[in-house]
């Protein structure tokens, strides 16, 4: 009966969250007891980060309830902070009008905390996906602050579960479902063609039959040297003389100087980028296919820790962004040092693929989330839970 | 040397935070190693909540760095949420311009989390006063979310300290200083005259030589029946036929309907309010003096739990707002029921004052806070701390 | 056919605009070629200005497309300016989502210019009602600035038409339809009972069978002495010793100090207000009925100039707010001087009703507006029109 | 004496306004009776539009009172509208804090109207530079709306003066000072070297000793085909096979698709852009030097109409953006048609430089503005002025 369907609002603010949530979204959409409202805001509406994603979403049969342009230019801390505030303001209006039973907050991005705050103040039940992990950057603070505003917790591993409980959440509402990203990675056709890859982005044409690197290096908002750190990685990769696909950084504070540096390097140091292919984004399943095919992932993406644990892809993780996150033997952790990066990548190329690991993988993660959203008893008054 | 002074921003957004922070503010102002910047926003700038407080602050020798009008009218959840968002947006600009070393966030009010979020995204060290307590209302979520964004923690009691540590904060940065409110209460001249009291507010003239009640009942944002709950208390107090001073509710969601109800009762049910005196606000020290002189405090103010524990004032605490907070024997907890409230007040009147308790009291709380702010090593990258 | 209906967005931001637009709204709603979207924002959503108006609107069969809480408290210039900015921001989202063919902007209130700006930047055709008049206060600037953003102009009198053309608007799109307010006034049942009147508001009970005054004095935003000017009028009216209905001021800058003064006068100078009845608002038709029955309207409302010209009600217009507006012989203009005000009211009481005037009246004003909205060729690129 | 200095706030929101206001700003800064406060917001703070301009401003001895990041990404109408609203909100706070005697509003950009609205609501006197002109795009509406909010008017030509007076402005406050841009153009060293030019931007190296074109084509917000119109011009210029310097479009709605098209053309149609050099911006005096040296300016910049009238540079003006603006014989007006554009440029190349014209030039324009700002009687209550 329509009258008893739960209204679930799902704010999506960047390409990665859409990518990793696809299976979940399809199942929410299909569930007879749930009315799904997708709300878009932030960088996912901007071509430079997410070309065509809004179109893809609609092509996927989803109705977009709201499209809120609220990214403030600057690529620095003040722009990031104000983007969060404006996001919160606009989602307040949308959530107030939609009046949902549950709002789903994903991960640890700054604008998701802002939306969680708006939902909490509107007295709406909040479900949080991927709480309890430990990392670097502002994400570390944001993730746990969302946990303390949220009512239903979907964690991806046992360590995270332990921490969410330590923070005073009620065990009855903490669910270790495994990672949606890894569930998706496990379900994807990983074949990819040369034409497909080179149809995205610009620069050197990649031969997918031969070893190539992938670089995904995002800003670390709590560090001051994002430009330098990017150039350190770029010089290391250039020195290796292996073809590489370089992904554009996401919209966190520091992205301005990193993007500027990449443009500068391409225009003024063409010799360093001669074997690099630059991509702003690809569909989520093609990103996974690239992860499955690359000889080594370099940078600081969580995909290196999570998806690659299952795929067995060698990873060189740089700097503090993923520091503390549960990671498998496929990851070599290095500092911001060209020689150290180059040596680690060389070793990973020599090593080759690792066996698949299940530290982040559980079958049917998205089904588990849907079940809880459809049937859990909802509440809004939180209370710090202390085991006796 | 000026060059090495730490710049401390102190956002004040309501009358209560100013009241309880006065001793701390004076000591920060006087400290040679600290440059204090007071920033005002929210309801403290509005006459209806805080007549003359901005003037008082300046009269007290403080310079006001910013005055940000950002309270959105409505007195409901959506107005509260948007007020928080606008507050965050405006404080982002102010904090970005001021570029402080530390921002001090007080307590658990919704707009303080918004400011904390802005400060976190600007990569500024955050000090939080009064984390770790457990209560009802949205304050419970807000308080712990601030803890997870903050770097320096000033808690008021051992229970709170234990919880802040459980949430993964580094013991090196968690300080049990006792309560600033109680320190202030312990230092105040509690004598008060009839003329003084009746010079504030309107309505029935109170004779301070004879027993009188005080009622402070704020909205509980996570409950739907704030209007009804207020009227329940009002009918109970009216039935007791004891003179009462009724304080206007603060600016949380629900305040609109509560204020409306009070106006309605005064205009249309004058018989019920015949012995009531209505006050929107008084200076912090006069509030404490009233607490020290009232025969019983009724409602859901934290002052009933904290200041009154030290003062020994009998308290009838109603409903869920303070639920879970460490409370002494001077408090009787009751539900939203006129008969239960009236009976509890009658019993407290019969009992009279309690002995003073130190559960929230430590000497020199404000000195302890100043010392940490002036000398602690500052950092911004947080990491969940797990005892081995 | 639905596909060819024009979508008309009608933002309503205060009680007066709803009142005077009722006939127009009903006809727009009923028109087969028009899809009407009512959008509410500003003070009309706030009980203190507009109790129950949102409910009345829905009871009238209108669907409310949006309800945007965006009034910033303070009652001063900075709060007014920020209210306008927030209004513009929120209406941008709503108008972008609604994607209308035409937005209807009413009159000269500050938030209406903000909405007009948003609509202009969204490249939507703007229709403006009541351009070209001359008055005081910020309204004078706002009104003409809206004219220069608008594409279709509905003016209420020949003087206004001449000015709109002088400002470079294309004569093809300037329509002198007469005043909607006066059309409404001409259609109302003006009988009113004692019970009806006293059911609104609080204070002295008015006997509608005997002479009574009405006072409507709004802030003048470009003047500094709104509090003093209000008290000047209040003392003049008190001295006349005639019962008076006093309407609460609207939400312009200065309203804070005026409301504060009224509260102060009622609480502390009860003798001056002993014969006054205070009303925050009444339904539009009851306001007109009161205008038709009062012995004299005092203050600075445009209703004194417009509706009263048709009704023949004597008016004493105070100060600069209506200065320059075309006014009939029923108006006596006075300055901010108690003696002058009292003398003018006394003279008007002696004179009694004036003959009805048609300077603002044309039959079928609302039909004329509907016809243009339904059938005019719409355009967005404006060009200053100069007669050869 | 300091106490009597007038405080003048000067909000600068894009590179062009800074460029053309340099002489004025230096004189305001130097004037003993004026305290200048420069406030930066909008695209001037963004590297992609204005690399280093904020640094240049400080290097020029100016103190920057505020730096407000408020450009919302999207490059479409909704982003433009929301940028204006956010700009107005933030400048309200800054202007309220600064409390100036006068705010100077430049030209006709959308965010300048937003700031003018904020200033008007704060009851601050507004001076407007360059009112009364007629053009296309949203600029046409914006310019005249600013006029109706402004109190002091500095127009650049007799036609504009006539229109400002027709719109009801008081002749006592309307000053035909000539154009600041042209005054600057007349004072510049127009020599420019090959190295200087090629040091800005990227692409084909320009030989300034040989004929080269300049293209400056901005979005027209009231038109839907900005991408197509840009490509039409690009194909026309490519076909001429003459080296060209192409300037990046400004931040108006439509810029997103135009920038995207330029990137696409460079990446995917390198043959068309082989002789093009792309520049995001240059210092104002170097822009004028390029105008003085180019064989023909192509596009829709106001510099083609104004600066080039004085410099005698041949101009091909495309489409509706400058339609209606007073223009000299050096301009050929064409539509959005590749063949027409190419033919017109060919004809202009054959014709060569035109004699200098004074239609926009008066000596000492900036002195005239400074004198008025320093000495005019200031007022805030406007009144439509009608000549008898």
pLDDT (tens digit per residue) in B113-165:
999 999 999 999 999 999 999 999 999 999 999 999 999 999 999 999 999 99
pLDDT (tens digit per residue) in D174-221:
999 999 999 999 999 999 999 999 988 888 999 999 999 999 999 999
Is D363 near chain A, with CB under 8 Å? no
State residue D74 phi and psi, 5-degree precision: 150, -40
Asked if D66 and B97 come within 8 Å (Cβ–Cβ), the reply is yes
Minimal CA separation from B56 to chain D, in Å:
19
Minimal CA separation from D118 to chain A, in Å:
19
pLDDT (tens digit per residue) in D124-183:
999 999 999 999 999 999 999 999 999 999 999 999 999 999 999 999 999 999 999 999
CA dihedral A85, A86, A91, A96 (to 10 degrees): 90
- Is the pLDDT reported for residue C1 higher than 50? no
* D 65-94 → B contacts, CB under 8 A: 66-68, 89-90, 93
Mean of pLDDT values over D297-318: 97
- Is the pLDDT reported for residue D51 higher than 80? no
Which pLDDT score is estimated for C50? 61
Confidence at A264, pLDDT banded by 50, 70, 90: confident
Minimal CA separation from A69 to chain D, in Å:
6
Asked if C69 and B72 come within 8 Å (Cβ–Cβ), the reply is yes
Which pLDDT score is estimated for D307? 96
Asked if B86 and C69 come within 8 Å (Cβ–Cβ), the reply is no
Mean of pLDDT values over C197-208: 90
Q: Is D151 helix (H, G, I), strand (E, B) or coil?
A: coil
Report the residue of chain D nearest B90, measured CA to CA. D90
Which pLDDT score is estimated for B266? 86
Residue with the two structure tokens 């100077």: D104
Within 8 A of A67 by CB-CB distance, chain C residues are: 97
d(CA A256, CA D69): 13
Is C144 near chain D, with CB under 8 Å? yes
A16 and A49 Cβ atoms separated by less than 8 Å: no
CA dihedral C180, C185, C186, C192 (to 10 degrees): 160
Q: Which of D93, D94, D98 to mutate to test the interface with B (most CBs of B within 10 A)?
A: D93
Q: For chain C, what's the residue count?
A: 388
Nearest CA among B380, B385, B370 for reference residue B149: B380
D301 and D137 Cβ atoms separated by less than 8 Å: no
Nearest CB to D71: which of A47, A72, A202? A72
Within 8 A of B93 by CB-CB distance, chain D residues are: 68, 90, 93
The average confidence (pLDDT) of chain B is 93
Nearest CB to D69: which of A69, A74, A260? A74
Partners of residue C66 on adjacent β-strands: C39
Nearest CB to B148: which of A84, A148, A383? A148
Eight-state DSSP code of residue C69: -
Asked if A86 and D76 come within 8 Å (Cβ–Cβ), the reply is no
Within 8 A of D88 by CB-CB distance, chain B residues are: none
Interface predicted TM-score of the whole assembly (ipTM), two decimals: 0.93
- Is the pLDDT reported for residue D286 higher than 60? yes
pLDDT (tens digit per residue) in D211-225:
999 999 999 998 889
pTM, to two decimals:
0.93
d(CA D268, CA A62): 32
* Chain B neighbours, 3+ Cβ pairs < 8 A: A, C, D
* B 185-224 → A contacts, CB under 8 A: 221-223
Report the residue of chain D nearest C321, measured CA to CA. D381
Which pLDDT score is estimated for C224? 87
Asked if C73 and B71 come within 8 Å (Cβ–Cβ), the reply is yes
Nearest CA among C291, C218, C283, C215 for reference residue C250: C218
- Is the pLDDT reported for residue A203 higher than 80? yes
Task: Give the number of other Cβ atoms within 10 Å of residue A172's Cβ.
Answer: 10
Q: Which helix (H) or strand (E) segment is B17 a member of?
A: helix B15-30
The per-residue DSSP string of A224-292 comes to: S-HHHHHHHHHHHHHHHT--EEEEPP-SSTTHHHHHHHHHHHHHH-TTTTTTEEEES---HHHHHHHHH
Within 8 A of C267 by CB-CB distance, chain B residues are: 202
* B 236-295 → C contacts, CB under 8 A: 256, 260, 267
Confidence at C54, pLDDT banded by 50, 70, 90: confident
* Chain D neighbours, 3+ Cβ pairs < 8 A: A, B, C
Residue with the two structure tokens 């939400």: C251
The average confidence (pLDDT) of chain A is 93
Mean of pLDDT values over A134-155: 97
| B·C CB contacts under 8 A | 45
- Is the pLDDT reported for residue B63 higher than 80? yes
* Chain A neighbours, 3+ Cβ pairs < 8 A: B, C, D
Within 8 A of D105 by CB-CB distance, chain C residues are: none
Within 8 A of A97 by CB-CB distance, chain C residues are: 66-67
Mean of pLDDT values over D266-286: 89
pLDDT (tens digit per residue) in A95-120:
999 999 999 999 999 999 999 999 99
The per-residue DSSP string of B251-274 comes to: SSTTHHHHHHHHHHHHHH-TTTTT
Which pLDDT score is estimated for C373? 98
pLDDT (tens digit per residue) in B11-23:
999 888 888 899 9
Is B138 near chain A, with CB under 8 Å? yes
- Is the pLDDT reported for residue A201 higher than 90? no
d(CA D170, CA D240): 50
d(CA C49, CA C53): 9
Which pLDDT score is estimated for D50? 62
Report the residue of chain B nearest C266, measured CA to CA. B202
Handedness of CA A102, A107, A112, A113 (dihedral sign): positive
| B·D CB contacts under 8 A | 10
Which pLDDT score is estimated for A51? 61
CA dihedral C201, C206, C208, C213 (to 10 degrees): -90
Residue C349 buriedness (CB in 10 A; 0-12 / 13-18 / 19+): middle
The average confidence (pLDDT) of chain D is 93
d(CA B125, CA B149): 9
Q: Which helix (H) or strand (E) segment is B375 a member of?
A: helix B365-375
d(CA B369, CA B379): 17
Asked if D381 and C80 come within 8 Å (Cβ–Cβ), the reply is no
Mean of pLDDT values over A331-341: 97
Asked if C46 and B74 come within 8 Å (Cβ–Cβ), the reply is yes
pLDDT (tens digit per residue) in C84-141:
999 999 999 999 999 999 999 999 999 999 999 999 999 999 999 999 999 999 999 9
Interaxial angle between packed helices D226-240 and D338-351, expressed in degrees from 0 to 180 and rounded to the nearest 10: 50
Selected residue with higher pLDDT from D301 and D1? D301
| C·D CB contacts under 8 A | 169
Mean of pLDDT values over C3-18: 90
* A 316-355 → B contacts, CB under 8 A: 320, 323-324
Asked if D93 and B93 come within 8 Å (Cβ–Cβ), the reply is yes
Interaxial angle between packed helices D180-187 and D365-375, expressed in degrees from 0 to 180 and rounded to the nearest 10: 130
Minimal CA separation from D82 to chain A, in Å:
8
d(CA B213, CA D165): 68
pLDDT (tens digit per residue) in B221-274:
988 899 999 999 999 999 999 999 999 998 888 998 999 899 888 888 889 999
Which pLDDT score is estimated for C20? 86
Eight-state DSSP code of residue A8: E
Which pLDDT score is estimated for C124? 98
Q: Pairing state of beta strands A315-318 and B102-106?
A: unpaired
Within 8 A of A221 by CB-CB distance, chain B residues are: 121, 123
Minimal CA separation from D341 to chain A, in Å:
30
pLDDT (tens digit per residue) in B339-388:
999 999 999 999 999 999 999 999 899 999 999 999 999 999 999 999 76
Mean of pLDDT values over C248-273: 89
Within 8 A of C66 by CB-CB distance, chain A residues are: 97
Within 8 A of B137 by CB-CB distance, chain A residues are: 381
Which residues fall within 8 angstroms of residue A362, CB to CB, at 6 or more apart? A176, A177, A178, A179, A183, A368
Minimal CA separation from C248 to chain A, in Å:
29
pLDDT (tens digit per residue) in C140-167:
999 999 999 999 999 999 999 999 999 9
Minimal CA separation from A337 to chain C, in Å:
46
Minimal CA separation from C95 to chain A, in Å:
12
Which pLDDT score is estimated for A2? 45
Handedness of CA B281, B285, B289, B292 (dihedral sign): positive
Which pLDDT score is estimated for B1? 41
Selected residue with higher pLDDT from D66 and C103? C103
């Amino acid at each position: 009966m329509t009258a008893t369907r739960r209204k679930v609002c799902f704010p999506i603010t960047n390409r990665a969250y859409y990518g990793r949530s696809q299976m979940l979204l399809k199942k929410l959409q299909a569930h007879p007891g749930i009315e799904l409202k997708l709300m878009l805001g932030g960088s996912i509406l901007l071509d430079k980060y997410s070309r065509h994603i809004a179109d893809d979403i609609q092509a996927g049969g989803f109705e977009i309830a709201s499209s809120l342009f609220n990214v403030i230019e600057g690529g620095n801390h003040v722009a990031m902070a104000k983007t969060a505030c404006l996001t919160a303001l606009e989602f307040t209006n949308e959530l107030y009008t939609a009046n949902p039973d549950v709002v789903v907050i994903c991960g640890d991005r700054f604008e998701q905390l802002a939306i969680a705050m708006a939902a909490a103040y509107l007295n709406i039940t909040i479900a949080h996906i991927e709480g309890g992990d430990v990392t670097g950057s502002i994400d570390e603070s944001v993730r746990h602050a969302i946990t303390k505003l949220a009512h239903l917790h979907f964690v991806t591993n046992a360590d995270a579960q332990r921490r969410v409980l330590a923070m005073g959440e009620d065990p009855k509402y903490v669910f270790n479902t495994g990672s949606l990203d890894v569930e998706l990675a496990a379900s994807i056709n990983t074949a990819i063609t040369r034409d497909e890859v080179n149809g995205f982005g610009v620069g050197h044409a990649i031969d997918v039959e031969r070893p190539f690197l992938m670089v995904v290096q995002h800003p670390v908002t709590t560090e001051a040297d994002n430009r330098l750190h990017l150039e350190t990685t770029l010089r290391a990769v250039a020195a290796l003389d292996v073809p590489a696909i370089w992904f554009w950084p996401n919209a966190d504070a520091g992205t301005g100087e990193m993007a500027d540096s990449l443009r500068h390097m391409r225009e003024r140091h063409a010799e360093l980028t001669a074997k690099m292919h630059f991509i702003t984004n690809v569909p989520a399943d093609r990103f996974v296919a690239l992860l499955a095919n690359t000889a080594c992932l370099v940078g600081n993406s969580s995909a290196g820790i999570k998806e690659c644990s299952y795929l067995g892809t060698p990873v060189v993780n740089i700097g503090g962004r993923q520091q503390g996150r549960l990671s498998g033997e496929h990851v070599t952790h290095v500092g911001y040092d060209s020689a150290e990066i180059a040596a680690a990548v060389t070793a990973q190329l020599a090593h080759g693929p690792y066996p698949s690991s299940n530290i982040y993988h559980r079958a049917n993660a998205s089904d588990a989330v849907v079940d809880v959203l459809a049937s859990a008893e909802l509440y809004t008054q939180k209370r710090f839970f202390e085991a006796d």
